[in-house]
Amino acid sequence: MFVKDFAARAEPIQKLTRKNEPFIWTEEQTIAQKDLQQAIKEAPILKTIDYELDEQPLGGISQFQRD
């Protein structure tokens, strides 16, 4: 799954895990949490497969594996 600008979006939450940083959850973290939740819901991997397309999802690259 890919979430565009994940690191920047998660920064308000991430900074609470820094050494000597007091853990105080504010509106800034709540907004970041809701933004990330929405971004994850909209991430392309969570969409249903359109079987009408000519393209097929790849399950792996085992055909390239060396013995």
**One pLDDT digit (tens) per residue for the chain, 67 residues:** 788 899 999 999 999 999 999 999 999 999 999 999 999 888 777 667 777 876 666 666 565 555 5
Global confidence as pTM: 0.63
Orientation angle between helical segments 6-14 and 27-42, nearest 10 degrees: 150
Q: What pLDDT does residue 42 have?
A: 85
Q: What is the C-alpha to C-alpha distance for residues 50 and 25, in angstroms, rounded to an integer?
A: 40
